[in-house]
Structure 1
Amino acid sequence: MDLDAFIAAHRAEWERLAVLSRQGRLSGAEADELLDLYQRVATHLSMVRSTAPDPSVVQYLSTLLARTRNKATGTRTNAWTDLVGFFAERFPAALYRAWRWWVPTALANVAVAFVIGIWVMRNPDVQSAWIPPEQVDQLVNNDFESYYSENAAQDFALRVWTNNAWIAAVCIAMGALGLPVIYVLWQNVVNVGVTGGIMAAHGRADLFFGLISPHGILELTAVFVAAGVGLRVFWSWVEPGSQSRLQSLSAAARASMSIALGLIVVLFVTGIIEAFVTPSPLPTWARVGVGVVAELAFLAYVFVIGRRAALAGETGDVGELDQSAAAPSAA
């Protein structure tokens, strides 16, 4: 190929594409022209590389095409803007849009935990079946309380955070299967109910609620959110509506990832409370008050900020540029 003749033949197209790629706002006709020229120039670059790979021409055309791609697809915001947008809009909107799943999940699990706790409290045989009688006194009078203070606060906070983040991640990641979420919830509810029942049966209900409430209210809420979102992912392919099962599952899974990322921060807060507030010498009312305030702040975040973002059109899904192309669905 005669490279000089090739450049002369196509220089006008390259220069026109360069002008359009730098222009501010394009009309519809100009946008169509830009995309058409982009395809032509991409072909030109391929021809040059394969037949006459002149470095300067390859560099020029590659730069021109890269600039045109940015023009056609738009530029991304910086990381700090993305982070602020995530916590100000996407995460709370995703929480709000999923509340019909996680609020019933929370209420049902709390009710079951209380039923189990009352049953265990009223049946000594059940208590001994769960914990040998010789270990009950150790649990009631020492182990339950010392658990929150036997390790350095910062180490304990990290351990609690990673453990709870793992539970939440399992609920969301395994959500498409459904049953693993139910299993995790059942294990959690039984653990809380049995421990609370044994403590109450031995007159230590005040200690139980005084220690579990500061961090546990928000912590359990986060777990119930993760479980509810996981169950929503499961239902998205069971009952996809007007979308295909793959489209419905993909949209629910992408939104669930936004919630999973946000819950990492929520669970970090609960870990700090559990490590530094729960075992602190503050009076019980003050420690419990911290937990109540944290829970109310979370609910306000969801039902005020999240509702506002959802009504403004935020879905909690990733941006359009990060979504794969979707096939048409039935109306």
Structure 2
Amino acid sequence: MDIDRFIAVHEAEWARLADLARRAGSGGKGLEHGEVDELVRRYQRVSLHLSQARTVHQDPGLVRRLSEVVGAAHAAVHGVRVSRFSTVKRFLWSTFPAAVWTCRRQLLASALVFFGTAVVVGLIFWQAPNRIDLVMPRSTQKAYVEKDFVTYYSENPSAVFFSEVTTNNIQVAILAFGLGAVLVVPGVIVLFENGAYLGLVAGLFATRGRFWNTFVVYIAPHGLLELTAITFAGAAGMRVGWAVFAPGDRTRAEALGDEGRRSVTVVLGTALGFLGAGLIEGFVTGSPALPAGVKVAVGVLAVAAFLLWTLGRGRAAAAEGWTGSLEELRPSYIPVDPLAPPAPLPGPVGWVPDPLAPRAALAAAGSVTAAASAAAAAPAAGPEA
């Protein structure tokens, strides 16, 4: 069955389920006698339609629509109530990591542009120190290496410095994201320029014999996390921009909408990375009380935790059915594994109710959840052996 016929055949049932789920939102009080059973049956059938839409038709718009309908019905059947805390938890544990995982190819490209440029430029200036004179006067080089670079991290109160650097880092990330979304190339240029500056500074300290004991000690604590977060923002922008060139089986408008919502998720989550980097830069990097080894260890642990959270958890979240779109934060949204059948209603172990079998009307129980519980207490109402 092609997608147009699939929609035409089932359109009325989807609309009916959406109406039942909406009316059941107050605990089933808005449902007429017998509609509770109808809600349960239609919920199970439309769950199968959603799995078919994901695996066979693979139309993002249809999948999104059915996800909303099935999610609302799921909430009505199981009595789901999503708190604000649960929404935040969902974002941090599922939506944001899944969004990062979907951007992994763009993330690799972003990291190669940024860090690759830094390494190449750093090696060029290290091997030919005289070239630094072309972009920075010798007097400035000396002052920067021997004083200015270090005092920058300690001349202001920690709280003030934290606020300033966090704001600045977020602005850089927004710039990398926004320009990357404009046909990719402008965002690549921003990453290249920032990578080149990092390489210039690294090369300067290397030529003065202070790469490890000064540059690394004062960059690694916050910089590993901060620079990683910048590449994340750049990758999000690249994904949006690339959707214009390669929308896949979607229209360009649909592709931009889908990738835009997913990329905004990445940018919002990346802001937490900048917050962490700002805290480290404000309170750890310039602290005279902490040994150099401790500072560097803090930076390594911070970026390792960030990558484990985003990429490690992201792979698992994507396998669970999360896509990273902001729409997943809606209370009614539930991820659907395209290879798994819809979850059965509560009942005796091993018993799965027949979605087409009639049930006794239980609207008087006051809620749809009560209907499921009553079904569990009377397994004889299930399919015959």
Say if 1:249 and 1:197 are closer, same or farther in 2 by CA, change over 3 A.
Answer: same
- Map 1:145-294; keep pairs closer than 5 Å: 145-177=150-182, 178-206=184-212, 207-281=214-288, 282-294=290-302
Which deviations, in whole Å up to 9, do the C-alpha atoms of 1:242-273 show, x marking residues without a partner? 00011011100000111111111111000001
Say if 1:208 and 1:153 are closer, same or farther in 2 by CA, change over 3 A.
Answer: same
- In the alignment, the residues of structure 2 paired with residue 141 and residue 258 of structure 1 have an alpha-carbon distance, to the nearest angstrom, of 41
Amino acid at match of 2:198: V
SS of 2:30's equivalent in the other structure is: helix
- In the alignment, the residues of structure 2 paired with residue 180 and residue 90 of structure 1 have an alpha-carbon distance, to the nearest angstrom, of 27
CA contact (8 A) 1:154 1:275 kept: yes
The match for 2:309 among 276, 301, 315 is: 301
Structure 1 portions without partners, runs of 5+: 1-16, 32-69, 323-331
Say if 1:247 and 1:144 are closer, same or farther in 2 by CA, change over 3 A.
Answer: same
Task: Name 1:21's counterpart in structure 2.
Answer: 30
Amino acid at match of 1:200: A
Say if 1:29 and 1:224 are closer, same or farther in 2 by CA, change over 3 A.
Answer: closer
Amino acid at match of 1:175: G
Say if 1:25 and 1:167 are closer, same or farther in 2 by CA, change over 3 A.
Answer: farther
Identical positions, percent:
34
Which deviations, in whole Å up to 9, do the C-alpha atoms of 1:153-178 show, x marking residues without a partner? 11111111111111112222333212
Amino acid at match of 2:193: Q
Say if 1:26 and 1:319 are closer, same or farther in 2 by CA, change over 3 A.
Answer: farther
Equivalent residue pairs, number = 269
TM-score (norm 2): 0.65
CA contact (8 A) 1:20 1:30 kept: no
Task: Name 2:341's counterpart in structure 1.
Answer: none
Task: Indicate whether 1:109 and 2:109 are aligned.
Answer: no
- In the alignment, the residues of structure 1 paired with residue 73 and residue 185 of structure 2 have an alpha-carbon distance, to the nearest angstrom, of 46
SS of 1:77's equivalent in the other structure is: coil
Task: Name 1:41's counterpart in structure 2.
Answer: none
Deviation at 1:28, TM superposition (A): 5.7
Is the deviation greater in 308-317 or in 183-192? 183-192
Say if 1:86 and 1:244 are closer, same or farther in 2 by CA, change over 3 A.
Answer: same
Amino acid at match of 2:191: L
Structure 2 portions without partners, runs of 5+: 1-22, 43-71, 331-385
Say if 1:286 and 1:241 are closer, same or farther in 2 by CA, change over 3 A.
Answer: same
- In the alignment, the residues of structure 2 paired with residue 102 and residue 232 of structure 1 have an alpha-carbon distance, to the nearest angstrom, of 9
- In the alignment, the residues of structure 2 paired with residue 29 and residue 146 of structure 1 have an alpha-carbon distance, to the nearest angstrom, of 67
Amino acid at match of 1:241: G
Amino acid at match of 1:195: V
SS of 2:249's equivalent in the other structure is: coil
Higher helix share: 1
The list of structure 1 runs, each at least 4 consecutive aligned residues, that deviate by more than 6 angstroms after superposition, is 17-20, 70-76
Task: Indicate whether 1:125 and 2:130 are aligned.
Answer: yes
Task: Name 1:138's counterpart in structure 2.
Answer: 143
Task: Indicate whether 1:317 and 2:325 are aligned.
Answer: yes
Q: Which has the larger radius of gyration?
A: 1
- In the alignment, the residues of structure 2 paired with residue 180 and residue 213 of structure 1 have an alpha-carbon distance, to the nearest angstrom, of 27
SS of 1:221's equivalent in the other structure is: helix
Deviation at 1:115, TM superposition (A): 1.1
Task: Indicate whether 1:89 and 2:94 are aligned.
Answer: yes
- In the alignment, the residues of structure 2 paired with residue 167 and residue 192 of structure 1 have an alpha-carbon distance, to the nearest angstrom, of 14
- Map 1:33-48; keep pairs closer than 5 Å: none
SS of 1:267's equivalent in the other structure is: helix
